[in-house]
Structure 1
Amino acid sequence: MGFGDNTAPPSRALCMPSLFSSKTQRSPLLLAWLTALWLGTLCNWPLWKALLALPETGSPRGLLFMLAFAGIITGVLASILSLAAWRRVIKPVAALLLISAAAGAHFMGTYGVVIDDTMIVNVLQTDARETRDLLSLRMLVTLVLLAGLPAVYLWRTSLASLGFGRQLLRNLVGVLLGLALAVALLMACFADMASTMRNHKSLRYLINPLNSYYALGQVAFKKSSKPRGPPQIVAADAVLAARPDGRKPPLLLLVVGETARAMNFSLNGYARATNPELAKLDVLSFRDVTSCGTSTAASLPCMFSHLGREQYGNSKEVHQENLLDALQRAGLAVLWLDNQSGCKGICERVPNAMAHIAASGAPTLPEALCNGPECLDGALLHGLDQRLEALPAERRAKGVVLVLHQMGSHGPAYYKRSPADLKPFQPECKTNVLQQCDPQQLVNAYDNSIVYADHVLAQAIAWLQQKTSGFDPTLLYLSDHGESLGENNLYLHGMPYAFAPREQTHIPMVLWLPGTGSAIDRGCMRAKLEQPLSHDHLFHSVLGLLGVQASIYKADRDFFAGCKQGQ
């Protein structure tokens, strides 16, 4: 080539294959390992954040352990993805893992939650209203960075076709190498791994996205092993005891709160006036009550079961009837009224309705209460007279149980749970990205939701007071679980019960009895305000309160026991 030749030699950079070139054909196995590396490192940032907060990792040895941990996760993921390292399979499988890992990283990192089978059930049962409250710009950014960018590279990469035999051999080698890497690193740091996992069990639920798919598998297994057909009958012998002469039929308004924590009730000593209306009504507030679970999906079925938390959690046979079935079998009129994402199967065999659908004959729901299917809890009381009258007359004559399932203080959009005229604590947090809120503004928004719950309960009591001529009314309110508001960098709820903070399990329980004519002795109940109670007591206490006799009834779980007039 002479000096006058204008043809330049090809650039060495252009001759070398580029890892990021969309024109260069890649092995599906390489794509599988690159995806595993991305998932095992960047998509597990909530795990690394949790590990860095531990005193055990504040040394060079701790940092080496974290690197080994990342290598173990990467090796396991690479081994799994190697099984899918086929030309037409790897891209959709990798994309699915990236999206699920990005979503998991967002929720674990933003709210401090962990992902187990209970959390998966919550996700599967979440309605559109709750889903909207979880969407945010931060979530979009996380999805774009952790899933969108690598997904673009995935789909732009051309994959080589090696033939079935060669690709199978390579994939098997990839599986073995991934397992070998994971096992070698685990053996190298086994002592540190065993100690860390033993002392901080919640870390296992942060291994992303393996935690999500393991939990999903648990849910699928439980569902597949659930007996087919109708549920097992509970309290088959339930009957109403004879009512004393002159005693009116009972009317129980059982209000199931949502995400309310006892420590934010001024009735329980909280410094702020979050219960201004109930405080004037001489209600009884039980101060040491514990929930069955830390989420609606776990607590609601458990609290209406006769089994109790420990037996319910360990029982493989939970396809059983519940409290509402027993009450209906005894002859009482039962109605479940819902302002949330459903009753989790509890109300399937009793009359039930949604709060945003007005009762027959009742006025149209005002816009101040409902915006389409999204309603404030005041909608539960709208048309309650018409709903009561629609129940069978022969059952009403024996007694009525109305269950109101509130939206309560459901987060993260706490500011949506109270109307503009009932927000005494200002300024309040008005975003669902709770970590971006000033801590006091976050508490303000939450406390405003408690003030509104107080207002709704006071209105419910006023309605009951109008029914004293025909019924013996009682209101019992208790929440399904509590809530974390940033304590220990935890938000929302749903932590595994074994290490859930008290904020998520310590719940309020409030009882209202009429001033005169009640079958329950108020003074006797007042003496029990400090007694440790739990959701385990609900089934048996309601049977006892309403005079339902059944062999399944346990007097030691009836917190009304010994307090009935004439006992």
Structure 2
Amino acid sequence: MLSDRARSPGRHGWSPITLALLGCLWMASAGNLALWRALHRLGALDGWRGAALAAGVALAIGAALALVLAPFAWRRSLKPALALLLLAAAAGSHFMWAYGIVIDSTMLANVLQTDLHEARDLLSGRLLLTLTLLGIVPAWWIVRAPVDWGRWPGRLRANLLLFAGALAVLVGTVLAAYQPLAALSRGHRELRHLVNPLNSLQALAKLGVGRPAQATTRQPLGTDARIAALAGRTDRAPLLVLVLGETARADHFALNGYARPTTPALAALDVTSQRNAWSCGTSTAASVPCMFSHLAREEFDSRDADHDTLVDVLQHAGLAVLWLDNQAGCKGVCDRVPNVNTSALRHPTLCPDGECLDEILLDGLDKRLAALPVERRARGTVLVLHQMGSHGPAYHRRSPPDAKHFQPECRSVALQDCEHPALVNAYDNSIAYTDRFLAATIRWLQARGEAADSALLYVADHGESLGEHNLYLHGLPYAVAPDVQKHVAWISWFSPAFARRSGVAAGCLQQRRDERLGHEHYFHSVLGLLDVQTSAYRPERDFYRACRQP
């Protein structure tokens, strides 16, 4: 960072307060293009009242940012703080504008947990241009600007005046525009998550201090779990594969009535698809911990501490458990059971460009299972396969060339630049590849029919927006997210031996295919399928229980 002293004798440089206010006004105006677009679409900026509202909103955002910067308006901290805020505002502006997302704590958690492969998918020329114009150029100017810092008593007085003045402006503008702001906020709660970069600061604060108990406390659960001794059981142990789908919206599965043939391989197998299944979150970071917990969404969101997960309880019951991940991790769910991440493996055909297709999860699977403890495998094995699935925005990377049945295909991560049919083609190709992967997994299970009573349960973590209402990807707050981000695929396959073992009648499931269910049923349904008895099990949340014959 260059010196803050004047560049020539007699030149005092910028006032720190002026520098801070210029940065705040830039972020409040140019950094909030997505907010202005949303307000324009709602008709809130029409006429002179709309112009007055826009001015008031910009002034309030600038004043709020000034409040944030006032404690940092010192020689060693103002320029770094301003530069970081400018870069955060530029990045937030790009993603909110390009994909129609909003930034809250869940979205920020997704960003912080993104791996290199996912980050690569988001890189584009448009991102670089936005970062440069909105963030890098103004940050570079601020870093180089000469500043007259003065002596510290005067600097303290000026900082206090900045804080007091910003607070007065914020309160005054909010009160002056209270009625239209309140109406907009009540009817469109997502708008508050578009206020940039205050949305990122609020999300960061919520992640850092919002739930400290959860970050440090984990309660044991299901330590009393055991396998029930049922009459008529075969000598074969159960082998249950839980496929954790990624970004798979239910309405793009032909099994659920979609007009395009996206699931021909599964249609040829004896599977059952529940067509009215709903997620407990709109992102992997929110949904996966929730669906593997014993709690419903509202209970999970208000919990005071974390608990052991489904895979922990299965391990408590003495079963062999293995989690294979072809994604950015299990979000803490599998930390206490054997787990392997396959996304960085090298395979000549399944990992052609440094990222592995989902069929890598089946490569060498027998050897992986054989390495699990023998005494546990004798009671039963649960294998979790976490897919890359249909993870966007690079949908074209989620399927191999021989699985691209729908053409032309969008091959850009700037989804708004693609024709909508091409975007849908790319997404549907990823669903068709999931169909192929699931069928291959079922065939693998069928080949082990004499050694185990096998079954497969596929449930997606969340859905996806494909340009409807100018929204892309996922991760909107649950209360305002469209159904396509929450309506997910849920598919069951039971071998004849497993069907007899569990007592679940396929015809009954077929009759209930339109009955609503959700991630809150997942934990308890898996325990019920495996006859695991524990105080953590709630029979009313076991979806398969109603179809279980004596």
Q: What count of residue pairs does the alignment treat as equivalent?
A: 538
Q: After superposing the two structures, state which structure 1 stretch, 521-530 or 199-208, moved more.
A: 521-530
Partner of 2:317: 330
1:146 pairs, out of 134, 141, 145, with 134
Q: Distance in 1 between matches of 2:433 and 2:254?
A: 13
The equivalent of 1:526 in structure 2 is 510
TM-superposed CA distance for 1:163, in Å, is 0.4
Aligned residue identity for 1:433? A
Q: Which residue of 2 aligns with 1:111?
A: 99
Residues 1:507 and 2:491 are matched in the alignment: no
Task: Say yes or no: does 1:179 pair with 2:167.
Answer: yes
Secondary structure of the structure 2 residue equivalent to 1:55? coil
Give the alignment of 1:460-471 within 5 angstroms.
Answer: 460-471=441-452
1:545 corresponds in structure 2 to 529
- Whole-angstrom CA distance in 1 between matches of 2:354 and 2:400: 16
CA distance in 1 between partners of 2:344 and 2:141 (Å): 48
User: What is the aligned partner in structure 2 of residue 276 from structure 1?
Assistant: 264
Rg larger in structure: 1
Which aligned pairs between 1:310-349 and structure 2 lie closer than 5 A?
Answer: 310-317=298-305, 319-349=306-336
- Structure 1 counterpart of 2:313, which letter? A
CA distance in 1, matches of 2:109, 2:83: 23
Higher deviation after alignment, 298-307 or 80-89: 80-89
Could you tell me which residue of structure 2 aligns to residue 95 of structure 1?
83
Partner of 1:170: 158
Deviation at residue 228 of structure 1 after TM alignment: 3.4
Q: Is the Cα–Cα contact under 8 Å of residues 454 and 498 in structure 2 kept in the other structure?
A: no
Q: Which whole-Å CA distance do the structure 2 matches of 1:282 and 1:57 have between them? A: 55
Choose the corresponding residue for 2:122, options 118, 124, 134.
134
Q: Deviations over 1:368-420 (max 9, x none)?
A: 10147520000001111111211111111111100000000000000000001
SS at match of 2:241: strand
Unaligned runs of 5+ in 1: 1-21, 359-364
- Equivalent of 1:59 in 39, 47, 50: 47
CA positional deviation for 1:345:
0.7
2:239 pairs with one of 247, 251, 273:
251
Give a deviation string over 1:455-506, Cα, whole Å, max 9, x none.
0000000001011101111110010000000111110000000111000000
CA distance in 2, matches of 1:411, 1:228: 32
**1:129-169, CA deviations, whole angstroms, 9 ceiling, x for partnerless residues?**
10111111100000100012211211221111310111111
AA paired with 1:291? S
Deviates more, 1:240-249 or 1:156-165: 240-249
What are the within-5 Å matches in structure 2 for residues 141-220 of structure 1? 141-220=129-208
Task: Select the residue among 326, 333, 351 that pairs with 1:370.
Answer: 351
Tell me the percent identity.
51
In the other structure, the counterpart of 2:226 is 239
Give the partner amino acid of 1:46.
Answer: A
Post-superposition CA distance 1:240-277 (Å, at most 9, x none): 01143452321111000000000100110101000011
Q: Using the TM superposition, give the Cα deviation of residue 209 of structure 1 relative to its aligned residue in structure 2, in angstroms.
A: 0.5
The alpha-carbon deviation at position 78 of structure 1 amounts to 2.1
User: Separation in 2 of the partners of 1:179 and 1:527?
Assistant: 61
CA contact (8 A) 1:293 1:299 kept: yes
* CA root-mean-square deviation: 1.7
C-alpha distance in structure 2 between counterparts of 1:439 and 1:227, whole Å: 41
- Where structure 2 has 5 or more consecutive residues not aligned to the other structure, the ranges are 1-9
Which residue of the partner structure matches residue 260 of structure 1?
Answer: 248
Quick one: which amino acid aligns to residue 235 of structure 1? Answer: G
CA distance in 1, matches of 2:458, 2:254: 15
Render the CA deviation track for 1:345-367: whole Å, top value 9, x for unaligned.
11111111112477xxxxxx631
Q: Does residue 69 of structure 2 align to residue 81 of structure 1? A: yes
Q: Deviations 1:107-126 (Å, cap 9, x if unpaired)?
A: 11111111111111111111
Q: Evaluate the alpha carbon distance shift between residue 96 and residue 492 of structure 1 in structure 2; reply closer, same or farther with a 3 A threshold.
A: same
Structure 2 Cα separation of the partners of residues 251 and 281 of structure 1 = 18
Offset of 1:79 from its aligned partner? 2.9
2:6 matched residue in structure 1 = none
> For residues 230 and 147 of structure 2, what CA distance do their matches in structure 1 show?
79
In structure 2, what residue type is equivalent to 1:269? G
Q: Is the 8 Å Cα contact of residues 249 and 488 (structure 2) preserved in structure 1?
A: yes
Letter in 1 for 2:141: Y
- Residue 356 of structure 1 contacts residue 372 of structure 1 at CA under 8 Å; is this kept in 2? no
In structure 1, the residue matched to 2:26 is: 38
Structure 2 counterpart of 1:393, from 360, 374, 379:
374
State how far apart, in whole Å, the 2-side matches of 1:163 and 1:113 are: 44
Q: Which residue of 2 is the match for residue 9 of structure 1?
A: none
| 2:441 paired with 1:441 | no
CA distance in 1, matches of 2:232, 2:475: 48
TM-score, length of structure 1 as denominator length = 0.92
